[in-house]
Amino acid sequence: MITVVKFGGSLLGSREREGILSAAARAGVVLVPGGGPFADGVRTEQRRLVYGDRAAHAMACLAMEQTAWALNDLGPDFVACSDQPAFAAARAAGRPAIWLPSAMAIEAPLPASWDVTSDSLALWLAIELRADRLILLKAAAAAEGGLEAWAAAGTVDPVFAPLAEEFSGEIALVGPATAAAFEAALAAPIRRAA
């Protein structure tokens, strides 16, 4: 079973970070980092320097990669993976993986704009890996009602709900994310999200 877990960038400074990372490592998941403060810097500098969305999208993917290296240093030792063979090798070795997204994400067939965040990139990776489950970990509480409600509330980006139609696995959102809530989501039986 493959579980992809999107670790929201807003959780980087959370007191729950260590417990969440430990639970993710024990469960052998594929961890997808959010951009966090590194992506915030891209947004700020885009307004100041006025570069285009394609450049900002590529830089935001690199921001996710910066978060991945920070998480890998701050938490358990995940296998850093930038392509399908690396993920396959990590799975074969029974090791948890963390995605270094720039090699794959910049070329992904998704809009190169702020309409695509690390949430949609995590979903795209889950589709590519044929994952059974995608869990989104957020600092904020999730809106009731599933994908459309999450999109309407701005909890996920505008591309997420349409892209979810291509995913046959379960999608769960844990927010506010705590280690206990995350472990409960990992232990729950897999079901297709509404």
Q: Check pLDDT > 80 for residue 96.
A: yes
Q: Check pLDDT > 60 for residue 193.
A: no
pLDDT in tens, 32-45: 999 999 999 999 99
Helix, strand, coil % over all residues of the chain, rounded to 5: 50, 15, 40
Contact (Cβ atoms closer than 8 angstroms) between residue 18 and residue 44: no
Q: Is the Cα dihedral 129, 78, 103, 112 positive or negative?
A: positive
3-class DSSP state of 173 = strand
Structure tokens, 11: 């959780």
3-class DSSP state of 43 = helix
Q: Check pLDDT > 50 for residue 194.
A: no
Domains and CATH numbers, the chain: 3-187 (3.40.1160.10)
The number of CA neighbours under 13 Å toward the Cβ of 102 is 14
> What does the pLDDT average to over 126-140?
96
> What does the pLDDT average to over 91-108?
95
The reported pLDDT for the residue numbered 192 is: 56
The reported pLDDT for the residue numbered 49 is: 95
Q: Check pLDDT > 80 for residue 103.
A: yes
pLDDT in tens, 32-91: 999 999 999 999 999 999 999 999 999 999 999 999 999 999 877 899 999 999 999 999
Structure tokens, 52: 């285009």
The reported pLDDT for the residue numbered 156 is: 95
